[in-house]
A and B are shown apart, each in its own frame.
Chain A
Amino acid sequence: MTSEMEKKTAPALPRFRPNTDVLEREDGFHIFVDMPGVAKDGLSIDLRDNELEIRGKAVYPREENAKVLHVEFGDGEYVRTFTISDGVDREGIRASLKKGLLELFLPKAARFKPRRIEIQAG
């Protein structure tokens, strides 16, 4: 499968599919990806051909001298891939990571933008 090589070389962090919202607004597509615990340097976004791959590592510092009572989340790597069509202006893709939420903005290519059609008076 696709990532067998990586699995062998990198230490195994559990992989998660982050929860994602995809919305369309007039200016383009907005993708929101929940990535709690991921800082800017733990995030990578790659665009290869039509595939936009997002990877984010969340590594929590150990609480020292503390015993763990209850665990529902932990270290992990968020991985998600999106396929992008020609309708997106690739040069204009923007990403921002704030408060553990990644926001991707994919502007529509000019020819897909809604535009007003002039009516010729005859």
Chain B
Amino acid sequence: MVIDFSNYYDLPRNMDSFFEELWRPSTLSQRRISYPPVNISESEEEIVVMSEIPGMDTGDIELTLNEKSLVIRGTKKNEVGNYYRQERPTGSFQRIVNLNVSVRAEAIKASMKDGVLRVVLPKARESHPLTISIDAQ
């Protein structure tokens, strides 16, 4: 084998990565179990879903809006060659994001930059917060 990986025998670095695991940021809602990882944020006007899907063409990612859920689906291809190490996930993946409000399907915008998918889902008018004025008597 022509390339060695220091990680196999480099104890100090192993210790480093062990501690890194321990001090993982606690702000993360859950560990990376499902693929791809998603972030969801909400403002008064819209819901924004971000997802890390590196190395994918936009044409290979399928976004489907069902009633009250957004489905991110796709297939990651294997590279051609003789693998020495394989850590990147391959095969098909699917992630379902539940939406607790209704959104305007025709106004959804999706974009991809540096392997990060960003879907902006504008909320339907009826789910905007409504201020009710109180009449003084």
* Contact, CB under 8 Å: A21 / B2: no
Q: Which residues of B from 1 to 38 have beta carbons under 8 Å from A?
A: 2-6, 12-13, 15-17, 20, 23-25, 27-30, 32, 34, 37-38
Q: Which residues of A from 79 to 115 have beta carbons under 8 Å from B?
A: 81-85, 87-88, 98-101, 106, 108, 112
Considering the complex, give the chain B residue whose CB is closest to the CB of A24: B82
| B contact residues, total (Cβ < 8 Å) | 51
Nearest chain A CB to B128's CB is how many angstroms away?
Answer: 14
Considering the complex, give the chain A residue whose CB is closest to the CB of B56: A99
**B17 / chain A contacts, CB cutoff of 8 Å:** 17
A21-B85 contact given A2-B16, A74-B25, A88-B3, CB 8 Å threshold:
yes
A20-B88 contact given A25-B80, A67-B42, A100-B52, CB 8 Å threshold:
yes
**A39 / chain B contacts, CB cutoff of 8 Å:** 114
A72-B30 contact given A21-B86, A51-B6, CB 8 Å threshold:
yes
Among B2, B34, B39, B55, point to the contact of A34 (Cβ < 8 A).
Answer: B55
Chain B interface, >50% SS class? loop
* Contact, CB under 8 Å: B43 / A63: yes
* Total A-B pairs, Cβ < 8 A: 156
* Contact, CB under 8 Å: B52 / A21: no
CA–CA, A36 to B27, complex, Å? Answer: 19
**B2 / chain A contacts, CB cutoff of 8 Å:** 24, 29, 85, 87-88, 108, 112
Can you list 13 contacts pairing A with B, beta carbon distance less than 8 Å?
A1-B16, A14-B24, A24-B84, A25-B81, A58-B114, A67-B42, A68-B41, A70-B39, A72-B37, A82-B3, A82-B5, A87-B3, A100-B54
A37-B52, A65-B43, A99-B55 known; 4 new pairs, CB 8 Å cut-off, are A36-B116, A37-B116, A87-B2, A106-B3
Measured CB to CB, the residues of B under 8 A from A are 2-6, 12-13, 15-17, 20, 23-25, 27-30, 32, 34, 37-44, 48, 50, 52-57, 79-89, 112, 114-116
